[in-house]
Amino acid sequence: MSDLDKAIAQLRACRPIPEAQVRELCHKARELLIEEGNVVTVKAPVTICGDIHGQFHDLMELFRVGGDVPDTNYLFMGDFVDRGFYSLESFLLLLCLKVRYPDRMTLIRGNHESRQITTVYGFYDECLRKYGSANVWRYCCEVFDYLALGAIVLGATTQLEPSRQPVTAPSRSSTQEYLDPDVEIEVLDSGGSIIQRFPRANKRAARANSPSKDSSSPSSKTGPPGTSASGWTRGTTGSTSGAVLCVHGGLSPLIDTVDKIRLLDRKQEVPHEGAMCDLLWSDPDEIDGWGLSPRGAGFLFGADIVKQFNHKNDLSMIARAHQLVMEGFKEMFDSSIVTVWSAPNYCYRCGNVAAILELAEDGMGESAHSRSNGEVNRSNGGFKKENDRTLLAGPARRYRVFQAAPQDSRGMPAKKPSSFYFL
């Protein structure tokens, strides 16, 4: 068992690793991350996750529901730290997994991966408490500066296949029911049973008893999780799956193409304004164009902005995190953007469920644009030249919704008191 594997085992038990080991880990991670572009290219299949916020036990639950690393590829969209009690363990575990399985883990930066934010929202204090000095916090912040700003998922299928990883629950049979090739969205609970299915729009019209109809009736407002998250009133048409852009916050008025993101020097503290700030701070909203963000950083952006951006960049969808959604995920603007939130019962009291988004691999392996890292002709790699405004078909999306880890699995707190005191 290598040192790294030992560290992973120790962190999985929610026990922090020694400072020297953290330093080494951060050093290795830095070597790795410095080679990543500002926008990392990721091939489906991949499971996209939103904010974690130091809720270590819920992260464990996430791995249980979504499948363990390295069996499942993960993409975490930032905000690993702050607010929860185990920011340190959560972030270090993710970092260890990144170093151990670099191709299977993608970590991008959230607005909380910043020196200033972490001193206010808890991570700094946690490091100080757990190590007695701020060194570990410094090492981690150094790594934050190297994290990618976004990711592009390529090669996601438009057709859902049966859930491949049998989740621990015995009720698998439900996922193996009839398979409808036109299912666009499937919502599963943590046991792997189907809560809901939504066919693509063109087929949906033919069905009188479309499930999305049900979900919009007022009586089910407090119904099962995920139901009122349905923003997909119209769905998408067409058959070509475009790429999915993943960022923590959203778009920026200074960024009109994905390639512009590549022109940023990301190795810095998250600035208070500018493109890099916006990518990590902005939020979609029901407005036209751009608006001021009540957060004081980033912007609000409307459906028109998203659709224009997606069209221009041949994206079918933007996946982002950054905002609490009670149902764990929320699609907006005709499914052109989705918010994924992976911290159940946020702050241990919000009562929300969490979700992760699975994008399966396109069986053909053909639709993937070869826009991998190192491609020189970036702007033109695989781009179609077309002028019509039809949006690309969204990938088939499987959301797994899960709740906070049960109380008794949380283990004893790992915090140690100082062994002597003067005052």
Examine residue 224 and say whether the peptide bond preceding it is cis (omega within 30 degrees of 0): no
The site map against other proteins for 218-247 (x = CB under 8 A) is ---xx-----xx------------------
Tokens of 245: 């852009």
Sheet of 74-76, strand order: 105-107, 74-76, 46-49, 354-359, 397-402, 183-188, 194-199
Residue 410 binds other proteins (CB under 8 A): yes
Least spacing, CB of residue 255 vs other proteins, in Å: 9
Least spacing, CB of residue 358 vs other proteins, in Å: 22
Site for other proteins in 39-78 (CB under 8 A): 39
Write the DSSP assignment of 148-211 as a string of letters: BSEEEEE-B-SS-----S--SSSGGGGGGS---TTEEEEEE-TTS-EEEEEE-HHHHTT-TT-H
Least spacing, CB of residue 180 vs other proteins, in Å: 27
Sheet of 290-292, strand order: 283-284, 299-301, 290-292
CA distance 219 to 276: 42
- 214, 271, 361, 369: residue in contact with other proteins (rule CB under 8 A): 271
Does 112 participate in catalysis according to the annotation? yes
Number of residues in contact with other proteins, rule: CB under 8 A?
103
CB 198 within 8 A of CB 297: no
- Looking at the Cβ atoms of 135 and 165, the one nearer to other proteins is 135
Residue 370 binds other proteins (CB under 8 A): no
- Looking at the Cβ atoms of 92 and 396, the one nearer to other proteins is 92
The site map against other proteins for 96-135 (x = CB under 8 A) is ---------------xx--xxx-xxxx-x----x---xxx
Residue 327 binds other proteins (CB under 8 A): yes
- Looking at the Cβ atoms of 238 and 382, the one nearer to other proteins is 382
* Selected range binding other proteins among 6-14, 138-146, 154-162, 385-393, rule: CB under 8 A: 138-146
Residue 18 has what DSSP assignment? P
* Selected range binding other proteins among 99-107, 136-144, 167-175, 193-201, rule: CB under 8 A: 136-144
Active-site residue, from 112, 248, 311, 322: 112
Torsion angle of alpha carbons 201, 207, 213, 215, nearest 10°? Answer: -90
Catalytic residues: 112
